[in-house]
Amino acid sequence: MAFRAPFRALSTVARSKLRVGLIPGDGIGAEVIPAARRAIEALGSDIPKTEFVDLEAGFELFARSGDALPEETVEALGECDCALFGAVSSPIKKITGYSSPIVALRKKLDLYANVRPVVSVAAKGAEDTKPVDLVVVRENTECLYVKQESQTTSERGKEARAIRLITEYASQRIGKMAFELALGRPRQVFTIIHKSNVLSVTDGLFRESVRSVPRLVENGRYDNVKIEEQIVDSAVYRLFREPQIYDVMVAPNLYGDIISDAAAALVGSLGLVPSINAGDNFVMGEPVHGSAPDIAGQGIANPLASIRSAALMLRHLGYTSGADRLERAVNEVLYEAQVLTPDMGGKSKTQDVLDEVIRRL
């Protein structure tokens, strides 16, 4: 079976020891993060001696203590080289005093890029008529996720407003990371996702700022990268119709969130899609799936997205060999299609899938 890494390493700092923060969070996070830890431990000498630090955050913690993100967790992460975050249960109604710990961590640690590779692996004997091999690069700190909302009352009843923030600074640096990722891929096709035909000021600034990146880099570094654009609603339509046209997609926060979840439907399950939250000084792996309270505690959560997230985290740190082994093992499990959790149409338990991945390592 052919194998290719989703993107190349962006960091190559040598370490004699690796310190990994583990934040299971809510729901199935408590099941998939331990699985990712076991997979990392199984790599042996492909990575430095690894120490794991158990940390707390999440809505369940808030319900117990009134604090969704303890300062102790943030301080401990400052002593770590990287981290893995499981999932968070964010209520759909406003709860006084609560805000999402993952959003807060992205801001506190300046993890400005959410990188989400989506790759299809056809089962043995099956034909992949619409192969998917793309990376969504989502700006992680701005857009509507700044959560500046207000509500007033007028003669028309209640009125709610939300402020959307787009800056040249954030758009250019997410653009630069996306261009760098495009350089490491064979096709080197770069698509800017926006809605500047309607939101001409905010999305217009995002589009213009990302397009300006090649001019800011010396020696024509990105000259071979083909730059395309797509209006976000059209992009979703084409994603389902012809996903093979996309390679690297860069988008503001909200669009990137929606597009990557939609792309997950093309490869069979959210339980397969990994991500990293990356900045210039820290990286945190995070499976794209949520806390899945309907299956939490049943031992049937899919651990593959968390294992893939661990691989992306290691690759970002420069541990290419270990990352390759993890990704290859996951792809082989999907190719053989014998040991799969219920979300993939199988009957296996979380532990069964983890054991199969480790066997293939």
Residue range 23-31: average pLDDT? 97
Would you state the pLDDT for residue 14?
66
State the pTM of this model.
0.91
Average pLDDT, the chain: 93
d(CA 278, CA 10) in angstroms, rounded, equals 10
DSSP β-bridge partners for residue 104: none
Q: What is the pLDDT of residue 2?
A: 44
Catalytic residue numbers, as ranges: 145, 195, 233, 257, 261
Rounded Cα–Cα distance for residues 29 and 82 (Å)? 17
Check residue 1 and give its pLDDT. Answer: 43
- Bridge partners, 84 (sequence order): 22, 285
Q: Count how many Cα atoms sit within 13 Å of the Cα of residue 128 in the half-sphere of its side chain.
A: 16
The average pLDDT across 308-331 equals 96
Domains of the chain, first to last: 1-111+272-361 (3.40.718.10), 133-266 (3.40.718.10)
Supply the pLDDT for residue 11: 62
> Tens of pLDDT along 325-358?
999 999 999 999 999 999 999 999 999 999 999 9
pLDDT in tens, 95-152: 989 989 999 999 999 999 999 999 999 888 888 778 899 999 999 999 998 888 899 9
Mean pLDDT score, 40-58:
96
274 and 84 in contact (C-beta within 8 Å)?
no
Q: Convert 266-285 into a string of H (helix), E (strand) and C (coil).
A: HCCCHHHCCCEEECCCCEEE
- Tens-place pLDDT, residues 177-207: 999 999 999 999 999 999 999 999 999 999 9
Cβ contacts of 319 within 8 Å, gap of 6 or more:
9, 46, 47
Write down the H helix ranges in 87-201: 101-108, 168-183
Q: Give the confidence band of 8 by pLDDT, cuts at 50, 70, 90.
A: low
The reported pLDDT for the residue numbered 93 is: 83
Q: What is the mean pLDDT of residues 288-294?
A: 93
Whether 61 has a pLDDT exceeding 90, the answer reads yes
The rounded percent of the chain whose pLDDT value lies above 70 is 96
Dihedral pair phi/psi, residue 215, rounded to 5° = -75, -20
Q: What is the pLDDT of residue 6?
A: 60
